[in-house]
């Protein structure tokens, strides 16, 4: 893993559209380089959609967002098209079993990509590193650093508040479910419907017409017994 202050390794990679990118071409700008495990998975979808939605804020601060994984260019094309992504997805396919650029940034662990985000400053040095990234709120964390706002780490018991706008605080959670990934990508989530077993159980609990009639008959009989006798 690269340390803060060290020079970020240069690279030359193609994106999902076939455009070649090098780190040196972005000298003078801040670069958000985020590594993710796999295209079209719930957590990676949520993270990509958040960066997509926040891109105008990054662009306004003269920062570039680049996503990187070991997926093929074709996989990136489908993923980018499906989510309508507005930033490049770089491909670093495995050559000899290891993707060289991902490994150079210390994000290749146990034969898979470790979710890691780097913020590289305008001089090409590592400004900040995020490991064990929360995919839903990572874009907000990075944006806070670029804006110079105080950043609070995600805690297990008391999630902090990360600020996008002065009047729009966002609470930070710990986990990302499949439902959260679908919600971030704009997909409709399915609502739970009652099963046949649940319907049968509810029907048993509901009083039948026969039971209601029997109960009414008992009440009428009881009232007749309590009436005073007729006078002669």
The CA-atom distances, in angstroms, between 118 and each of 3, 127, 142, 150, 151 are: 10, 8, 9, 18, 15
**Beta carbons of 49 and 110 less than 8 angstroms apart:** no
Plot region of 154 (φ>0 → left; ψ -120 to 50 → alpha; else → beta)? beta
d(CA 154, CA 160): 6
**Beta carbons of 39 and 128 less than 8 angstroms apart:** no
- The question of whether 49 is a catalytic residue gets the answer no
Compute how many other C-beta atoms are within 10 angstroms of the C-beta atom of residue 175: 9
Residue 128 host element (H or E): strand 126-130
- Which residue is catalytic, options 2, 31, 44, 65? 44
Residue labelled with tokens 């649940």: 198
Cα–chain-centroid distance for residue 227?
A: 71
Residues taking part in catalysis: 44
């Amino acid at each position: 893993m690269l340390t803060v202050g060290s020079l970020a390794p240069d690279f030359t990679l193609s994106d999902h559209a076939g455009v070649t990118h090098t780190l040196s071409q972005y000298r003078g700008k801040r670069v958000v380089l985020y590594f993710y495990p796999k295209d079209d998975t719930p957590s990676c979808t949520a993270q990509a959609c958040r960066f997509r939605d926040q891109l105008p804020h990054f662009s306004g601060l003269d920062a570039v967002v680049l996503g990187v994984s070991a997926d093929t260019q074709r996989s990136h094309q489908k993923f980018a098209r499906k989510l309508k992504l507005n930033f490049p997805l770089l491909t670093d396919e495995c050559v000899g079993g290891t993707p060289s650029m991902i490994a150079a940034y210390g994000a290749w662990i146990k034969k898979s990509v470790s979710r890691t985000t780097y913020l590289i400053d305008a001089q090409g040095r590592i400004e900040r590193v995020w490991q064990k990234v929360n995919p839903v709120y990572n874009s907000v964390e990075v944006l806070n650093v670029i804006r110079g706002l105080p950043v609070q780490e995600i805690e297990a018991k008391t999630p902090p508040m990360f600020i996008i706008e002065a009047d729009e605080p966002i609470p930070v959670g710990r986990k990302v479910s499949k439902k959260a990934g679908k919600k971030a990508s704009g997909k409709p989530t399915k609502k739970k419907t009652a099963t046949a077993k649940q319907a049968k159980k509810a029907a048993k609990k509901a009083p039948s017409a026969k039971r209601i009639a029997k109960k009414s008959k008992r009440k009428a009989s009881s009232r007749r017994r309590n009436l005073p006798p007729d006078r002669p």
